[in-house]
Amino acid sequence: MRLKSGLTFLVIVTLFLVVGIYSNQERSRLVFSGESEHWKGNFRITGDQPWVDQELTLTFIGPNVPLDSDIHFSFTSPFGGGEVKGARLKKDQTVTFIGGGTGADLYRGPDEEVRVMIHWEGFQEVVVLKNIK
């Protein structure tokens, strides 16, 4: 009985240690932001190597554009890139790209920039996003 209680106690202590160690690990995060004449952009990349999550949000800040307009955009970053064709603005005038992957080095890219090329309603614009965090 004593051995069983001792083993149970040891297992519980081990679980608390493991949970404590992993809950104290912070995910690395970089945030890039920038603005052009008609668009504002925010790009967040979070993760722990080798896994990263990317989120690019573009907000239309120019005169109203119809919500049913096709928005095409592509971006390049120190962590890869992406392309979206035929996106639609939400009511809050935003469009979002969410992606993820492996192999990004979050310590390599803080001083680099993200370039976003946007096409809409016959217009084209580049937004350069700089690291703010």
47: left (phi over 0), alpha (psi -120 to 50) or beta: left
Q: In what order do the strands lie in the sheet with 51-60?
A: 80-87, 71-77, 113-120, 123-131, 28-35, 39-48, 51-60, 94-102
Distance from C-alpha of 126 to C-alpha of 113, rounded to nearest angstrom: 12
Residues annotated within the binding site for ATP are 130
Residues annotated within the binding site are 130
Q: Residues 48, 28: contact at Cβ < 8 Å?
A: yes
Greatest Cα pair distance in the chain: 79
Where would I find the H helices in the chain? 2-23
